[in-house]
Structure 1
Amino acid sequence: MAEVARLAGVSIATVSYVVNGTRQVREETRRRVERAIEQTGYTPNTLARSLATSSTESIGVVISAITNPYFAEVLAGVDRAAVRAGRILLLADSHDEPKYEFEVVRDLCQRRVDGIVLAPSTDPARTLDYLVASKVPTVLVDRLVDDRFDQVGPENEESTAHLVQHLAARGHRRIGMISGLSGLGTTTERLAGYRKGLKRSRLPYDASLVAEGHSNTVGAHAATHRLLATPEPPTALIVGNNAMIVGSMRALRGAGLLVPNDIALVSYDDLPGADLLAPPLTAFAQPCAQLGERAIAMLLQRLTDPDAAPRTERLGPRLMHRRSCGCPADTRADGTSDA
């Protein structure tokens, strides 16, 4: 920095103002400093700067199943918003393992990230208590499980209830549910929505019509087979997230069932190419990228105002009404025409 200052004919403090953007300097002076930086190849010592400013300009992101298209889109939104804010991301996949989740969160805190965006695992209590004790600003995304934190996620209950009611309106009385991994906040809320939809449709809850798909293709395949093997199998099926859709579809095809002629199929969660399936899949599409962008916005607000009351926000999914539910192509889920 001293060499840059000498070449530019300014003080070391002025170089610091230009590099860190902490004070306004004249445009001519800024250009001289930038030319000197280019000549010397100077790069700021980010570790030293973080010690001086108490900020590393970095954000830790801990989510599960990065290969899941849903979380990939959420992460894209997080990254886009972080770049706009001049922040760098440190990313970890928790694999939905509570012990590993705690370890990676602790490591990120020890690296002095300014804050964390976390999609909690099935049993995040230890991790969340650690974050509270460490006073690390944190936003929970997707899975809203602790109101001590800022949280942003999708609306789950009413959307799932809507799917049940839609299938019931189509005449189905045996509506099955492939639920996600047990213990996840999203799984709990969607199961609650399933029961709410049954109650509104005056249908009894039957535990034999619910099977856990463990939020993966293999689990959903096995769960679908279990439901089809019951004495009175479902005539319609709701899949709890997009990570399980392919598994359920493979099981139905293996059983020789055609969608929607033999069984109706809908999903909470859309997936890329769902409109190209035969038939196109009816699903609720979550605002994935917006969830990620909103999580960063909330975290930046928390950094600015650490004493503000925690907030929980929900973003509504959009119904992609197609034909796997058994509706004609020219009608909406509420029975109205597209025309």
Structure 2
Amino acid sequence: MSSRATTPEDRLSDVFGAMDENSPENSPAAPPRPDKRSHSSVDPASDDEDVQAPPVQVSSILAQNVVLAAKGHGERKRLKPDQLAAVETFLNNPSALREAKIMISIMALENQIDKIVTATAPYQVSADTEKNIKNFAVAVLLSSKCRTYKGQNAIKLVLDLVKLYRGDLAPGVEFNPADWGKVMVCAGDALTQVRSKFKKLIIYSLKPHDTKGPNNAAPADQLNIFQLSEAFVDGTRCSVNVPLCARIALMRKVYLQEPGSKFWDFVDKDLAKIRKRADGDNKKIARAFRHILEADQAKHGSKDYELDNETVDLFQQQVDDLIDAGAADASSIV
């Protein structure tokens, strides 16, 4: 009878058994040899490799170098001897004390700054800035693009010119409400003075020039629009042109009906009515002002002049552009 065939596992069963018997997990630990010393039994003094030299103390050397470097820097910055001594003391202090000293020094510096600020004289608008503001006020009110002659709009335009050209305006003054308020007051006063001057010129244009009576002169003896406009621009950088004459003609037209204290309010109202009626149509606005100008030419003085439709001073053109950019007002195009 033949023997049973063995499988690969059967053939290796003894090998696997031997492997299991000799595995490290099942093998007992080898007993220590009596002739071999343990590491713990070795005398450290007898083994040069286990001996460590004491660390070199460098902290004091570094501290001395820092002090010397700091004092040298202080000398280059020309500190006084007592200040150099204070620096050395500071560096030798504990860190907590150094931080406290820094905090104290900052507070002391703030106290000194407060004294300086308190002692500073209140801001005043300089004579040069005031002169510039007056020139800007004239330029705004002589602009054929001016939207209103009274109110905040005119003041804002003057202030925009002040900030644009500045002159000797103190740096950052516009960010100080109290100081900038003084500039605003100056701008408002300048506009009031210019409006008063213009109104007086309109009155003068209607009166007999050889008397001071209450009645107006005969139309032929009154100033024509060119003469009146020349009086408006006298002493300024502005020039007489058709758009300006049309604006002044509107002023004279309003004055003949509303000569009282509300004169400029009625001028602004008429400008607003023209813009509203035109509804953004520049051609309608142009026709309105052309009609006003032609009516004035026919009513006041003799028409012995020719008006320039294009002559505009460069500065006045910049003012007109500024107004256009801010308000997009075409109410005075002629």
Q: Sort the TM-score into its range (normalised by shorter chain).
A: under 0.3
Using the size of structure 1 for normalisation, the TM-score is 0.26
Q: Which has the higher helix share?
A: 2
Using the size of structure 2 for normalisation, the TM-score is 0.26
Higher-Rg structure is 2
